[in-house]
Structure 1
Amino acid sequence: MIRNISISAFINTIFILALIAVSITFAIFIKLDKQRYNITMQKKYELVAENILKSLEGKPNNAGIKFIVDQFKMVQLTEQEQKLRIINNGKTLILRDTLDGVYRIFILDDILYIYIQRDGYNLMIKDTQSYTHNLMIIALAIAISLGVLFSLYYILKRKLKPLRRLNKEIKKFSEGNFNVKIKFNSTDEIGTIAKTFDEALTHINNQRKSKDLFMRNMMHELKTPITKAMFIAETLEDEKKRDMLQKAFHRMDDIIKELAMVEKLTSSNTFVYKELTSFFKIYTRTLDIALLSPDKLTSKIKDFKLNADIAMFSVALKNLIDNAIKFSPNSHATLNADKHRIDIISEGEPLKESLEYYTEPFSQEEKRSDGFGLGLYIVKTIANLHGFKLVYNHNKGKNIFSILID
């Protein structure tokens, strides 16, 4: 689970947990501090109450009582209704019946009160000191802690921002945009990664351009002499030699065409021009470029509409049909097509390896000797560009290559 989470999500989770931990810690601290404060106040109020009871022995007047209360920095409550509300609604924390009199300590709305009774006197007093002062200090501590936490979060997210940009550029490159340029300003680890990746992109682009230039020049240089050689071969009187040379030159021409198609499909400028067309139109185009004899192919087609690049898809079908005829003992193939799939069927031994083995670009020599060079790679690539799938199976002595449309 943790391995699959993104760095950004991981950081967010850590800071959320840290925020929760800080909040719980301060909540517990406030509760404990309030309990400590109340205990301290209770002890203080007990001492004050006992001292006031002793001071009332002389039966002082109101001014004298006020003087006594002021000495302890407290406030006397004189309103009868307020006193009754505290007595009736307050919670009694301490009740002491001493020789000098009776005193009770109440708590109401988190405020402590002392109620003193002696010789006809009854005083309700409360301390001028409150817990608000402590709360302000705690609130300031909370604000500083949260400020530091959010500052760290902001700094860390800002530090990782170049990594997110780098990820976007890498994604663009993986999608075929070779013009990606990585900008880096920092000299930290992320800046070093960005610089290294930018250098790798430059190296890859240089190699790609070199490969494209080599492929185009090679095909151009080979095409002309092969065409000339084919014309010269036509003039030979020996039919056997003429047929042998023409077959060899046609094979070389096919290889160049396959290389040209591979170059086009792997180019960054590859564009699939899809249009809504009938399969029969694609099939007719395939027959035109394949130059097949009528006895070589049997077809059973339920015509249907599909979105496809007619030129590309015709090449894919032509390659499948060529392979089926070329490597079938009876040099014959069958094409079945409907709106769900296109099957190319021919007699023959099953493939020795899986289909993926034969659809790799630039097949090895041992694969080509079995008849699978660039043809199936081109078919698979074109199918994928259209959102279709190339599959293979062998059934009752027949090889079946299928393009699944849906």
Structure 2
Amino acid sequence: MIRTLYVRLVFAFISIVLISLFVSFFISTNRYRDQTVDQIDRYIIRQAKQIITLYQAGREEEIQTYLKTLPLQYYVWIYDKNGEIHSITPKSKKVKRPFGQRAVDRVLKGGVYRGRPKNDPPFFRVVGLPFHMRGERYALFIQLRVMEMQIEMHNFLLSVLFTVFIVGSIQILIVARYLVKPIKALTSATKKLSQGKFDVRVDVKRKDEIGTLANSFNQMAAELGSLEQMRKDFISNVSHEIQSPLTSLRGYSEMLKEETLSAEERKRYLDIIQEEIQRLSRLSENLLKLASLESDHPPFRPERYSLDEQLRRVVVAMEPQWSAKSLELDLSLEKADVVADPDQLKQVWINLLSNSVKFTPEGGTIRIRLEDGDSFVKVQIADTGVGIPPESLPHIFDRFFMGDRARSRRKEGNGLGLSIAKKIIELHQGEIHAASEVGKGATFTVVLPKMRQLG
């Protein structure tokens, strides 16, 4: 039980309060006592001098009257030179003297005694003063015992501190429960999250650190839920992408068993089987490429090279594709050198240019622009194709996204090309954006830092 945070908080708070009250009471009591005792002694000395004056004047009977006029209670002893009680107030006859013979001898020799009775509170003060009368030495001892008010205040202070301790402890119990309650909720939610319940949320409205922690937990749970959904979608899409060509392969392979097929039909079926095999091969290759880019140590071998020359070579290498559709390639390439992985960036340009060729109708135009900045380069690949619908534009870099039926009607890909391109650009600490207008084409913009640290 002591290991729980709630008990530890309560124990720590109560200990702190208890120690603070004890230290405060000790310091304040000692300071108050020191100041008060000194004032009490000075006050008693004034009364003692007045009594001595009355006694020296032979008005001993007036001493008791004088003491009755005082608001406090005093006991008085007067000793002669032989140490015998020479005079005493009537009330003091029933009171055992709170000082010893040594104190009497000291005062008779001219000293002053200041002290308190043993086992009494510090405010029960005794003062001894020497005086002379008719050539003889005398000692007057006076004790102030009407300090019940001080004792009551002392006891009242103790009761107040005790009440504060009890009330504070109860409040600490409540506050600690208030503090620990959201942590318990977070613990419960974490257990559910570990069980795969990613829809769990913590309802905490606080604005302090615990509220921030709860919001972070909710955000983490939402992101994990999104990742889990992405994982499920990924498996579903991969299964679908694999199942579709496998179904075709199984169907056409069964048809090839028919002995009545003509040579032309057999060739056509074999061509379809070969296309489906190539489709599976591309899917496998892209999945491996994407997994490699998303690993903790993706392949990255930067070197300094001419980016404009690389773009020209990609255009030339893909000439059979764009020339087959009679597309016009408009190049405007400024000379620019970059430090990057040439093989990976080549994959980006091939993927982007392939999409433009694929979705641009015959006779269309593809424009490629390269701008050389001080610390960055910008590449734009724009086409006059069918364009991308606004609702699909935010998702085009998602894996397996094939939302645009107009663009995907004649697709040969698997929805991984743009995802791979985005991962490569991010690996180079760059950015890639897409803009489009349906029926007028799409523009992909890539911004890359011009130089990177080699090695």
TM-score (norm 1): 0.49
TM-score (norm 2): 0.45
